[in-house]
Amino acid sequence: MGPADQSLVHPLRDCRLHLTDGTWSFETERAADIAAHWRSAIEDKPAMWDGRVLMMQDWSLEEGVLTGAFADVAYSSFHAWKTWGFPDPSIVNCFGSGVLRAADGALIYGVMGRTTSNAGRVYPVGGTLDHDDVREGGAIDMFGSIARELTEETGLTVAECRRGDRLAVRDGQLMSIAEVLDFPEDADTLAARIRTTIAAQDDPELDDVMIVRRATDLDPARTFGFARMIAEKLLA
């Protein structure tokens, strides 16, 4: 699998990812446009914060191992690139997805909060990589990121589940590194636990969760392609 493959699901054994000191030409060449876009974006959603995120530049996926080099970029640049329809194809938003699977086989997806950039969209818990996911020597811990996002968004921990199969899911300029997290509760019980956590959070990232028993439960208008591909693979 290489940069030309635009919509594929592959089994994954490992990730070997690292942060470089490289720059992003889109960010420097479109700086004025990006700044104007960001001013407009935060007028609409003032809770958004222009932090630093990690975008994948050079990568390969061979024999189930993803190797990738990442650049440190401003969230405002990433947000403009995403909003404008990914005008620079040289970079990929590679991120972790924790796919919660209940004891009855259903998946639990998150419904993104109204203050987030993806408000109302439905997909597995996870998020864009940032410096909290960088370890000694610049190594990027993708599966540590999944564990962190799981707890931040749902209150659950990876100690409560069995960490199962992993997939690399390419959806255009998005690449979800999906890890199946098998929990011992049934879907209704698991969803209720997460809703209790969301209700207690001051600024929850999720508005709700959705129980997915069939891939057709997912509305294409609210669900990214990678999230539907994961459901189709796991619920076939």
* Strand ranges for 146-228 from DSSP E: 162-171, 174-182, 206-212
Dump pLDDT digits (tens) for 119-141: 999 999 999 999 999 999 999 99
Q: Can you give the C-alpha Rg of the chain in angstroms? A: 17
CB 149 within 8 A of CB 98: yes
Q: Domain limits of the chain?
A: 7-234
Dump pLDDT digits (tens) for 147-160: 999 999 999 999 99
SS3 breakdown of the chain: % helix, strand, coil, rounded to 5?
35, 35, 30
Mean pLDDT of 35-56: 95
Indicate the pTM of the whole model.
Answer: 0.93
Yes or no: domain 7-234 corresponds to CATH 3.90.79.10: yes
Residue 85: its pLDDT value, please? 96
CB 78 within 8 A of CB 128: yes
Q: How far apart are CA 22 and CA 119, in angstroms?
A: 31
Looking at this protein, which amino acid is placed at residue 125? V
For residue 2, pLDDT over 50 is answered with no
Residue 52: its pLDDT value, please? 97
